[in-house]
Chain A
């Protein structure tokens, strides 16, 4: 597999490499490959330097494409690289080649040539309109997400085309839109418009829409070293969680306030007023402020409560669950120094496929162009 992609689709090749594909990452001679983003998403690939601006580089690409199964690129519609990665041109060299073109909006359409980055793609896919304070500005996730959504969909598309090739013997074009990929992230929110004419908006740190009185329910609670995510649910799941929370608070001799008198089997948040919710949440807020994120994680698990701490990367890096499953993979990075990467995303037949370091591909004779 040839990975000619820019940042927009790096994850696609990484996902396929994690499952055993032999992926060669093609980069321009002076392209920077030292950033953590590059290393994290191009691990498990072979690195080869080719200059597509030069005829020799383009010839070399065509020779590699002649024997490849999949080529992933991020062409810019209307620019020179669109011709280099044109599927019809490459199909003449290798009719079995699957060409995956990942672009912000797809290869055709009125916005195909638009200039965008992560924030504009998250905006175009609707995700920003659903994140942030209700009366504040739309928010993006501070770490780039739309490129990962595009890359993940590209990997699905590449393998879907591979399944088709097994039957037809022919490759084809996989046209991936990052904008459309982001719509995947927003669940069924568009269905509210479609079915009821209601436009969902951002809810900030609270959950709304669960009470006929319009009461809002706290989702994020300050704790001793950050925040936890906890919601007063109703129903069977909420009953267990709420009962266990109260039991936990009793063990700590915490003042339960109105929580002490509630029959959780009958608690129904749909009829609760804001005053009632505020009164219930006050002792919970006081209790949570006294515990740590890790304590919440361990107790919530032990008591089968719904809810999780709001982790940062340091919390995630020390999570025993990930350690036990061998998620982290230590491999050699620049200068031979060991680096800890996210491992392959799936355990296959009981084994997590191991990563291998990104390596410069040895200079070797290029394969002959198929005729």
Chain B
């Protein structure tokens, strides 16, 4: 699945686990050429396959899940019954073959299966292994199970979203999982560089909670140093004014902000109220913050008769920070994302032609790619165990007869 010219060609990765936090790491590596094998079992498939819509034609099916597919493109999919000793034998064949193991089971599960790092490195001494879970592998709450959507509340993000006098807000999905997966990719790539220099493998212990806190490093330092408790404040900003979103004719929303008095003057000119910038009540950012209603009315008068996208273009032309609040549908029509080929459609045997998301970076000499759609459950068993691991036809048939691939 990896083109020879890609950055991570020749790097083999095996994933144990499911949902987002582990598999999204493998996806990013796969998009730049790593050969990634996603391990599930027929009895316990990845939870994203059946518990999370959308499904093709809105009909749940083990291979019809767009959520699972979204995070598992460009990989091979295999099934192993890890409750059978033979399943562990084949899992060990995989971990001996690979450079990197990624797992997001609850702490201790891999050890109980005989797949802990100390055990795996006896036969693969320079193995890199990343374990990721809610709280990390140690500490008084290490065994806490949990979903990223709720962990985002513990890590402060939900409490920092919403109006000042309103409740906290959801951030749609398991927001923090994707922080941890992105930082997890940083960790395994750094470990690869270390292995190249020293020959040594590495065990990486990722706490999704701690990773999320790096995204609030400033407010946390502000608390530790100054005792300041950051609070949700709608769409306000401590510096810029105006700063927020305004509704438009087409039902869309326009985000805009002014960071200097000069930029505010440019905004006023666009609004057709150049005299407003000279009004002493709003001449400074502090004044603009305390006369919010005046500005809201002026911007709304201008935005309401206009479509959001057009309004943003006009403001950009005048040198004012602005952008439409893109809906999920808008993301597929954005000319900038199209220019970057951010979405790439690949045919899936059940879902059809699905759009997959490229990582947010690309490389000039060894570009990334969506090499193929996500695997069906166990769809690559023969390819992986016969071709990559070298099982004979007889061995493969014996394992199959013993239901090791169930």
Contacts and interface: CB of A to CB of B under 8 A. Distances in A.
Interface string B231-249: 1111111001001110100
Nearest to B326: A126
A304 B145 contact: yes
A156 B361 contact: yes
Contact of B361 (A115, A128, A153): A153
A157 interface: yes
Give the most central of A141, A178, A226, A310: most B CB within 10 Å: A141
Given A143-B219, A189-B173, A191-B54, A306 B335 contact: no
Interface string B156-178: 11111110001111111111011
A324 B161 CA distance: 28
Given A170-B365, A196-B54, A126 B328 contact: yes
B230 A143 contact: yes
Contact of A199 (B157, B329, B339): B329
Nearest to B68: A188
A131 interface: yes
B336 A152 contact: no
B139 interface: yes
A184 interface: yes
Interface residues of A, number: 146
Contact of B159 (A128, A149, A187, A227): A227
B203 A327 contact: no
B172 A130 contact: yes
Contacts of A126: 326-328, 330-331
Nearest to B186: A155
Contact of B202 (A307, A314, A348): A348
B207 A311 contact: no
Interface in B194-252: 194, 196, 202-207, 209-211, 213-226, 229-237, 240, 243-245, 247
A142 B160 contact: yes
Contact of A333 (B206, B225, B255): B225
Contacts of B335: 109-111
A163 B168 contact: no
Contacts of B169: 131-133, 139, 202, 204-205, 220
B220 A123 contact: no
A92 to B, nearest CB: 15
A205 B168 contact: yes
Interface stretch (A32-40, A46-54, A243-251, A253-261): A32-40
Interface string B1-38: 00000111111000000001000000010001000000
A308 B245 contact: no
A226 B326 CA distance: 31
A327 B214 CA distance: 11
B92 interface: no
A301 B255 contact: no
B136 interface: yes
Interface in B38-57: 51-56
Contacts of A176: 360-361
A163 B327 contact: no
Contact of A185 (B170, B178, B221): B178
Interface in B270-328: 316, 319-328
B120 to A, nearest CB: 14
A15 B183 contact: yes
B156 A311 contact: yes
A340 B324 CA distance: 38
B340 A341 contact: no
Contacts of A204: 167, 169-170
A138 interface: yes
Contact of B56 (A118, A195, A348): A195
Interface string A287-331: 000000000010001001011111111101100111011011000
Given A132-B162, A198-B54, 11 more contacts: A14-B214, A39-B221, A40-B218, A123-B245, A123-B324, A155-B186, A162-B193, A164-B6, A190-B331, A205-B169, A349-B202
* 10 interchain residue pairs of minimum CB distance: A187-B173, A157-B361, A159-B189, A109-B339, A164-B7, A180-B360, A308-B154, A229-B153, A181-B360, A340-B224
